[in-house]
Amino acid sequence: MASDKEKIEEALQKLLLQLDELREAIRLVQSRSLAIASEIQEIRMAYETLSNIQKISEKTVLAALDRNGYVFIKVQILSNDEATVRIGKDYYATVPIESAKKILIEYEKELTESLKQTEAELKRLNDIYAQLQRKIQEYVVALQGAEEVKK
C-alpha cells in the first residue's frame, strides 16, 4: 500500500511542477496578448489622427510626446496630404495620407489575426491548466483515501 501512496505522491509532484510551468506560460501569453491589443489601439489612434488631419485646415496642432498624453507640444503641420509611415522594421516612407491609412489598416488586420491566434493559444493553455487541476484534485483525494485506510 505504501508503494501506491509513493507513486501517487510522485505523480502529484510532477503534476504540480507542470502546473507551475504552465502558469508561467499562461502569464507570458497573456502579456503578449496585452501587448498586441495595445499595438492595435495605437494603430487605430494613428488612423483617426490621420483622418482628422485630412479634415481640418488648421496648421497648428497639439501633439503628445508620450503614449499616455502626459505632455503635449504645439507643432506645425507642413503638409496635410502626406504622412511618413513605417513600411518595415526600420523602414519609413512618405506617402499620401490615404496610402498611409491603407498601410495602417493592413497592420491592424495582421495584428488582429495575431491576437486571435494568441487568444486561441491562451484558451488552449487554460484548458490544459484546468485538466491538470482536476487531475491534481483526483490525486489529493486518492492520497486522503490512502491515509484514511492506513488509520
**53-68 per-position pLDDT tens digit:** 888 877 888 888 888 8
Count of other CB atoms within 10 angstroms of residue 128: 15
Q: Is the pTM of this model over 0.85?
A: no
2-150 CATH choice from 3.40.50.300, 1.10.287.370, 3.40.640.10, 1.10.132.20: 1.10.287.370
Distance CA(109)–CA(115), nearest Å, equals 10
For residue 52, give the nearest of 93, 85, 83 by alpha carbon: 83
Distance CA(19)–CA(25), nearest Å, equals 10
**114-142 per-position pLDDT tens digit:** 999 999 999 999 999 999 999 999 988 88
Contact status, residue 45 vs residue 124, Cβ threshold 8 Å:
no
In the chain, what percentage of residues exceed pLDDT 90? Answer: 61
Across 12-16, 82-86, 132-136, 143-147, least confident range: 143-147
Across 12-21, 32-41, 80-89, 102-111, least confident range: 80-89
Cell of 116: 486571435
Contact status, residue 103 vs residue 87, Cβ threshold 8 Å:
yes
Local confidence band at 1 (pLDDT 50, 70, 90 cut-offs): very low
Residue 93 has pLDDT above 80, yes or no: yes
Pairing of strands 60-64, 72-76: antiparallel
Write down the domain spans for the chain.
Answer: 2-150
Distance CA(98)–CA(43), nearest Å, equals 14
